[in-house]
Amino acid sequence: MTGSNPPQVTAVVPTRDRPVLLRAALDAILGQDYPGGIDVVVVYDQSEPDLTLAEDPRIRVITNSRTPGLAGARNTGILAARGELVAFCDDDDEWLPGKLAAQVAALESTADGAFVSCGIRVDYDGRQVDRSLTMDRVPLASLLRDRHTELHPSTFLIRRDALVDAIGLVDEEIPGSYAEDYEFLLRAARHAPLVNLTEPYVTVRWHKRSYFAQRWETISTALQWLLERYPEFATVPAGEARVAGQIAFAQAAMGNRREAVRWARRTLAGNPKEARAYLALAVASKAVDPDRVLRTLHKRGRGI
């Protein structure tokens, strides 16, 4: 790490009804062996704030003053941040030892670096799987081709001036706030290639849940919004096919067979090897259950 005065880091932690996991996340953040200052902004979203957390002078407790939901809560925290660097951490995740020092060092050693991520340790149903990208720089074209689930919001560390003045806040208009983290990554990569560490420095918890019809509708609508918002997808057919395959799967999970087939055909036109199209067709034909597909993928540290 360069310089005698390491930059101050503000961690933004949106939260809602997870008091035990939240305290574990805060302990992991404030327990980092980092020579610079660390402070945390805990943003309560649609829930009663626990003001006792602020008994630690390094923690500020505020409520979401913007659009209800994760995007608005993150933005409320970003605007309240005082550090030169802003980090994200979800209330059910935990930073592992060495995360902050390694990321700050990587960011400071990259001349055009504004954003740094790292690998993750996925914890699902008691099973842990490490996932990391082998790339040390992630350009926009790579993100269009692949979502890179390894680039999880709880790994993000960003220069505050670049975040506020160039990249921009988290988009609060995405339907249901679904994929707001991916859209944010695309914008960040438009600004400059992302810096990435291969070491898994964050434990990310994936929870069991049933994707009811309304949730699938949100996923489908949000991903169609994303394709319209980013015409660059047309330059990477395999990437556009990947998103189209996700939409096909969502339509199949809702029981919309005709729409599922239509989107699956679009997927295969862009990439005949895209597995999501075949999964969508299997779900549409009722050969497999969508929740079962997701549970199987999650055990491997992957998603649809």
CATH number reported for the structural domain that contains residue 239 in this entry: 1.25.40
Helix (H, G, I), strand (E, B) or coil at 139: coil
Residue 142 resides in a domain: yes
Residues 167 and 219 occupy one common structural domain: no
Residues 152 and 284 occupy one common structural domain: no
Could you read off the pLDDT of 66-97 as tens digits, one per residue? 999 999 999 999 999 999 999 999 999 999 99
Residues 270 and 229 occupy one common structural domain: yes
Distance CA 167, CA 75 (A): 13
- Phi first, then psi: what are they for 245, rounded to 5°? -65, -35
Could you read off the pLDDT of 114-132 as tens digits, one per residue? 999 999 999 988 889 999 9
Residue 3 resides in a domain: no
Entry pTM: 0.89
The closest alpha carbon to 6, from 32, 30, 37, 28, belongs to 37
Residues 279 and 171 occupy one common structural domain: no
The closest alpha carbon to 168, from 40, 71, 243, belongs to 71
Would you give the end-to-end CA distance of the chain in angstroms?
38
Residue 66 resides in a domain: yes
Residues 69 and 160 occupy one common structural domain: yes
pLDDT band at 16 (very low <50, low <70, confident <90, very high): very high
Q: Which of 147, 175, 206 is the last residue of a domain?
A: 206
Residues 252 and 175 occupy one common structural domain: no
pLDDT at position 3:
52
- The total number of structural domains in the chain stands at 2
Where is pLDDT greater, at 127 or 259?
259
Distance CA 184, CA 192 (A): 13
Residue 276 has pLDDT above 70, yes or no: yes
Mean pLDDT of 243-271: 96
Distance CA 219, CA 256 (A): 14
Residue 2 has pLDDT above 70, yes or no: no
Residue 232 resides in a domain: yes
Residues in the chain, overall count: 304
Residue 65 has pLDDT above 90, yes or no: yes
pLDDT band at 295 (very low <50, low <70, confident <90, very high): confident
Residue 259 resides in a domain: yes
Could you read off the pLDDT of 190-228 as tens digits, one per residue? 999 999 999 999 999 987 654 445 689 999 999 999 999
CA dihedral sign of residues 182, 187, 193, 195: negative
Q: Which of 172, 206, 240 is the last residue of a domain?
A: 206
Mean pLDDT of 40-53: 97
Residues 139 and 23 occupy one common structural domain: yes
The CATH number of the domain where 155 resides is what? 3.90.550.10
Residues 46 and 130 occupy one common structural domain: yes
Residue 237 has pLDDT above 80, yes or no: yes
Residues 245 and 97 occupy one common structural domain: no
- In percent, how much of the chain has pLDDT > 70? 96
Mean pLDDT of 8-35: 97
Type and span of the H or E element at 125: none
Q: Which of 176, 191, 206 is the last residue of a domain?
A: 206
How many Cα atoms occupy the beta-carbon half-sphere of 158 within 13 Å? 31
Residues 152 and 236 occupy one common structural domain: no
Residue 22 has pLDDT above 80, yes or no: yes
Most confident listed range (27-31, 149-153, 229-233):
27-31
Residue 1 resides in a domain: no
Residues 43 and 165 occupy one common structural domain: yes
Cβ atoms of 157 and 103 within 8 Å: the answer is yes
Mean pLDDT of 156-174: 96
Residues 114 and 44 occupy one common structural domain: yes
pLDDT band at 284 (very low <50, low <70, confident <90, very high): very high
pLDDT at position 144:
96
Residue 144 resides in a domain: yes
pLDDT band at 280 (very low <50, low <70, confident <90, very high): very high
Mean pLDDT of 255-270: 96
pLDDT at position 210:
46
pLDDT at position 300:
72
Residue 237 resides in a domain: yes
Type and span of the H or E element at 84: none
Domain residues for the domain of 240 are: 213-299
pLDDT at position 211:
46
Cβ atoms of 207 and 92 within 8 Å: the answer is yes
